Amino acid sequence: MPAPKIMLLFGVLAVMLVFFGAIVGVLVGNMLVFMSIFFAIAITMNVVSYYKSDSIMLRLTKTKIISRDENPRFYDLVKKVSETAGLPMPKVGIMQSSVPNAFATGRDKNHAVVVATGSILAMLNDDELEGVVGHEISHVTHRDILVSTVAATIATIISYIGNIIIISELFGGINNRNNNAGLLLILSAILIPLGATFVRLGISRSREAYADTGSVELVKKPAALISALQKISKPLRQPIAAQKRNSSPVPSAYSSLFIVNNFGGGALLKLFSTHPSLEARVKNITETAKRLGLSI
């Protein structure tokens, strides 16, 4: 996604956050105080998320950092693609999971980690796995971890504020306001977080498409990347309960960091998807390959 468009979407999120604070402030009589509090919370959470994104994600997914001796195939592919991209060698990790997937994390190119689940290493051939690694390395070069973390943090703050307001209103409201003021607060607490969620998802889907493009440009194996996405996007035959028993936990807030979101979901999965549809991704990869003169 072009930088101006990203800045526009972040601007929309920022306006939502400040506007939310203004609404609450006007209705309770402390607009400046509430706006300042929300802004301070947002800044604090952004800073913590940015500097601790790698350690947080590795801890949550119980990922093990490996040496080359432990998995030379995966390690060498990460090294190969990193060198092609002109990046320092990232740390390499393996997450024990029955769900085939991969992700990258870290605040910049000097603190990057590329992780694959044990099942994706077993499922994909070398070319397919290289395409996946290219996607993850592209996230690092585009600083998508920072972009996704900031977007998710702001949207989460907005949602958190909305939840507090709704709970407060259900238990009598703040300062016993009139019914109209209470109704306006509840509507704001529902609609603004929902809007922020859709903006965040739009950012996430755009960055995933951008990383697919980056993989084709780096690795130059579009057919292998398409094949990999098709394999790992297939619904798992294993029941969700069995997946949970055999997998490290993946909090939904961090599902956008993975190459596909195949950790389960309900009927609203497509509507609230953090990733483009498989069809859209195949189309984007195909168009990128044609632009570069590569065969599919």
For residue 140, pLDDT over 90 is answered with yes
In this predicted model, what pLDDT tens digit does every residue of 2-14 receive, in sequence order?
Answer: 455 556 666 777 7
For residue 103, pLDDT over 60 is answered with yes
More confident residue, 25 or 210: 210
Please report the pLDDT score of residue 259 as a whole number: 92
59 Cβ contact list (under 8 Å, min separation 6): none
Please report the pLDDT score of residue 2 as a whole number: 47
212 Cβ contact list (under 8 Å, min separation 6): 135, 138, 225, 281, 284, 285, 288
Phi, psi of 114 (to 5 degrees): -110, 125
Confidence band, pLDDT 50/70/90 cuts, at residue 264: low
Rounded mean pLDDT of 39-68? 81
Please report the pLDDT score of residue 157 as a whole number: 72
Domain tally, the chain: 1
Asked which of 27-31, 188-192, 221-225, 279-283 is least confident by mean pLDDT, the reply is 27-31
Confidence band, pLDDT 50/70/90 cuts, at residue 155: confident
For residue 191, pLDDT over 60 is answered with yes
Q: For tokens 């996430």, name the residue.
A: 204
Confidence band, pLDDT 50/70/90 cuts, at residue 238: very low
Catalytic sites, residue numbers = 136
For residue 120, pLDDT over 90 is answered with yes
Confidence band, pLDDT 50/70/90 cuts, at residue 173: low
For residue 288, pLDDT over 50 is answered with yes
The rounded distance, in Å, linking the Cα atoms of 211 and 196 is: 23
Highest average pLDDT, of 13-27, 42-56, 207-221, comes from 207-221
The total number of residues written for the chain in this structure: 296
The pTM for the full model equals 0.77
Dig out the tokens for 100 from the structure: 């085939």
Please report the pLDDT score of residue 4 as a whole number: 58
Cα–Cα distances in angstroms (integers) from residue 138 to residues 27, 31, 35, 56, 233, in the given order:
45, 42, 36, 21, 20
The rounded distance, in Å, linking the Cα atoms of 101 and 228 is: 10
Confidence band, pLDDT 50/70/90 cuts, at residue 69: very high
Confidence band, pLDDT 50/70/90 cuts, at residue 60: confident
More confident residue, 243 or 118: 118
In this predicted model, what pLDDT tens digit does every residue of 39-49 receive, in sequence order?
Answer: 677 677 767 77
**68-73 contacts: CB < 8 A, separation 24 or more?**
70/94, 71/121, 73/121, 73/126, 73/129
Q: Are 193 and 264 in contact (CB under 8 A)?
A: no
The rounded distance, in Å, linking the Cα atoms of 231 and 100 is: 9
Confidence band, pLDDT 50/70/90 cuts, at residue 242: very low
The rounded distance, in Å, linking the Cα atoms of 151 and 203 is: 8
Dig out the tokens for 256 from the structure: 């956008």
Dig out the tokens for 198 from the structure: 């859709």
**Axis-axis angle for helices 179-219, 222-233 (nearest 10):** 140
The rounded distance, in Å, linking the Cα atoms of 284 and 229 is: 13
250 Cβ contact list (under 8 Å, min separation 6): 60, 61, 97, 258, 263
What is the domain range of residue 204?
3-292
203 Cβ contact list (under 8 Å, min separation 6): 1, 6, 9, 10, 147, 148, 151
Residue 62 region by backbone torsions, left for phi larger than 0, else alpha for psi between -120 and 50, else beta: left
Mean pLDDT of the chain: 80
